């Protein structure tokens, strides 16, 4: 298997096509971001020892999105708005390839339903609500967003 075909799942193929289009159009942010994402997929494929299926590719992109979000927070905390803007632009490119996430209203409704189901009455029930909420949200939500909503909802119940 060649290096080029190792990470050639359906998402990688789409990233490659879009990178070529970005190169032709002169879109340097998209081009550089797509190169970075393809590199991450290739590394994940090498680590797995086999080509990635679509679910594994999506999981790899999700991890990369999390890294971008963490970088943005760190750059903002350090007062490096120029770097935070660059990372935010790159995250915007990456999000085009992630499955659509739950919006805040849907996520809030999910967390309220889970809290009702497990009988949560306050912040002490966080450990009962979190795993169920994360499982039900699936890949559609960031764990940090779920955590914030669970804390908010359980604090209101106290």
The pLDDT confidence band at residue 8, using thresholds 50, 70 and 90, is low
The pLDDT confidence band at residue 85, using thresholds 50, 70 and 90, is very high
Which CATH code for domain 3-95?
1.10.1510.10
User: pLDDT, tens digit, for every residue of 105-155?
Assistant: 888 888 899 989 988 888 898 899 899 988 888 766 778 888 888 999 988
Query: What tokens were used for 78?
Result: 């350090």
pLDDT for the residue 1: 40
pLDDT for the residue 78: 95
Domains 3-95 and 104-157 share a fold: no
Neighbours of 22 (CB within 10 A): 19
Mean pLDDT of 12-29: 94
Where do the structural domains in the chain lie, given as residue ranges? 3-95, 104-157
Which CATH code for domain 104-157?
1.10.10.410
pLDDT for the residue 83: 95
Mean pLDDT of 18-37: 95
- Determine which of 5-9, 59-63, 66-70, 105-109 has the lowest per-residue pLDDT on average: 5-9
Q: What percent of the chain has pLDDT over 90?
A: 42
pLDDT for the residue 158: 77
| Average pLDDT score, the chain | 87
Residue 21 half-sphere exposure toward CB, CA atoms < 13 A: 7
Does the pLDDT at position 102 exceed 80?
no
pLDDT for the residue 23: 95
Task: Tell me, letter by letter, the H, E, C secondary structure of 57-114.
Answer: HHHHHHHHHHHHHHHHHHHHHCCCHHHHHHHHHHHHHHHCCCCCCCCHHHHHHHHHHH
Does the pLDDT at position 6 exceed 50?
no
Q: Which backbone phi and psi does 8 adopt, to 5 degrees?
A: -95, 60
């Amino acid at each position: 298997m060649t290096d080029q075909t190792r990470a050639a799942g359906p998402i990688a193929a789409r990233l490659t096509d879009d990178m070529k289009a970005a190169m032709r159009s002169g879109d340097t942010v998209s081009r550089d971001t797509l190169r970075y994402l393809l590199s991450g997929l290739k590394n994940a494929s090498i680590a797995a020892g086999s080509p990635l299926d679509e679910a594994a590719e999506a999981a790899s992109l999700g991890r990369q999105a999390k890294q971008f979000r963490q970088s943005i927070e760190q750059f903002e905390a350090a007062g490096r708005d120029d770097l935070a803007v660059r990372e935010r632009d790159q995250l915007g490119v990456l999000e085009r390839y992630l499955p659509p996430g739950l919006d805040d209203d849907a996520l809030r409704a999910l967390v309220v339903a889970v809290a009702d189901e497990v009988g949560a009455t306050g912040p002490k029930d966080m450990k009962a609500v979190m795993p169920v909420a994360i499982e039900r949200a699936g890949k559609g939500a960031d764990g940090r967003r779920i955590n914030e909503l669970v804390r908010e909802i359980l604090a209101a119940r106290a």
